Amino acid sequence: MSSTNGTGANTPNSQLESVLPVHPTAVRRTSPIVVQSEQTSYTNDHITSKFTSRGAEVAIVEGQYIVTPTAKPFEFRTARKVAKTGLMMIGWGGNNGSTLSATILANRHNIIWHTKSGVQQPNYIGSLLRASTVSIGVDPATGKDVYVPVSDVLPMVHPNDLVLGGWDISGARMDEAMKRAQVLDWDLQRQVMPHMADLGSPLPSIYYPDFIAANQEARADNVIPGTDKQAHLEHIRADIRRFKEQHGLGRAVIFWTANTERYSEIIPGVNDTADNLLAAIKASHSEVSPSTLFAVAAILEGEPFVNGAPQNTFVPGVIELAERLQSFIGGDDLKSGQTKLKSVLAEFLVNAGIKPLSIASYNHLGNNDGHNLSAEPQFKSKEISKSSVVDDMVNANALLFKPPQPGAPAGSKAAKGEHPDHIVVIKYVPAVGDSKRAIDEYYSEIFCGGRSTINIFNECEDSLLATPLILDLTILTELLTRIKYRDASAGKDFKPLYPVLSLLSYMLKAPLVKPGTDVVNSLNRQRNALEAFLKACIGLEGSSDLLLETRIW
């Protein structure tokens, strides 16, 4: 006997039963998608899929490209039970943390508020997972693509179910922090304020004045005392354990959304290996940053850590420690507005055969992030993360941009290769508050020496673009901890993904990737990779725009 599921497919009752909640103590977010294929199997505990990764190896012989197609079989196994998940934010009382908390509470309690434009209902617009869709196939009756929310492809945490907490150097209660941020409409603040007050105040955080701007000192009234970095590490680890125990969590994602730090120096014998870094923490070495301490604490507790700011939190010792303990990390720097657009427009120009000669970006904002970035060392961290976003697109087109020439004099233009002039400016303008202004000019060479200039002006509440990214990164990170894989041709056991979660790249300006692999900044490629991976985990091929049925008899 069979039944009809929500997609109109006939599905055996045993498969339908397997998508129902089976664990009374776990938060379940089951997927409504059931794939009927020899490639996909379901149990109460897992979705297991077979997938063939297809590519090509290229050898260049006397100017000729010899291409050999490749095919490697994999199996993916996704645990279906979504554990109760907490989100612990460093910088919880800042603009992003307070805005995220308030908007989750507004959604959770269905708070409706009035604006000057009318009545507003809570939503998750701006979230890739909650507000965008993916095609899973074609309706045979109409020939039209069938789209589902990205969050329906695999079981995922719902934002409303996240347990919120974290640390901040400011001890302001969360309702006060929301008021201080001046991001949300007042009628929403008024209604959500009692729920925010119930969250209490952030836990004391780590404050090393050398790493953030001096103008932040006045906010630092909620800090872990002393200068012993080993003691600080143990304090943070105990905070994580206590938070999980208090709320009965199966998973806690640790997320840096605090002030941008200056770059840490990479010093041999200090932070270049896992053992050296742990020793440097014991010695309270001056070059161990707060964000690196939080990352190490999360790794040692076996919880994922995501860096939403541009500093080099993940020094080599952190990456090695994550590899050793198979603990997940991701970063760096939230990609919300100007940089996301830049990754799209630069790709469009280069793929169209147009040569960008210069990209000039100017920003001004008046929130505390802008205040901190008004200091030169912190600005340099942001400048680095913003400046590398077009590199892979430039490197992909040797017709437009001459690559580095072997044997050219060191430091010469030929040795460096061609690259557009790329300038980034950020100015602190208190009057505009969280409403960030971004101005970009793209100056390009076109046909036969012609020139083209594209100017773009963007204005938005910075925190309302950033907070959905925190949700997506948290939810995807939790999901990726439940996915294991194996090489089907080798018959080995399933094992976790590589600790550096490069699949998070769509939401990040300076994506952290496995050492020795190329960084991909193209927004389209990042989105396609994530979509293809999620579909591979249920045994579906990645999307194809070939539309062959429309092009043949």
* Residues annotated as catalytic (active site), given as ranges: 333, 382, 436, 509
CA distance readout (Å), 100 to 110, 246, 398, 467, 506: 15, 21, 43, 5, 19
Report helix, strand or coil for 120.
Answer: strand
Q: Are residues 103 and 111 in contact, defined by beta-carbon separation less than 8 angstroms?
A: no
Report how far residue 199's alpha carbon sits from residue 176's, in angstroms, rounded to the nearest whole number: 11
**Hey, which bits of 100-237 come out as E strands?**
113-115, 118-120, 133-138, 145-149, 163-168, 203-204
**Residue that the structure tokens 């012993």 belong to:** 228
- The 3-state secondary structure of 130-149 reads HHCEEEEEECCCCCCEEEEE
Instruction: Enumerate long-range contacts of 292-296, CB under 8 Å, 24 or more apart.
Output: 292/264, 292/318, 293/206, 293/229, 293/232, 293/233, 293/236, 294/90, 294/206, 294/236, 294/254, 294/256, 295/254, 295/256, 295/329, 296/233, 296/321
β partners of residue 439? 362, 457
Report how far residue 354's alpha carbon sits from residue 342's, in angstroms, rounded to the nearest whole number: 15
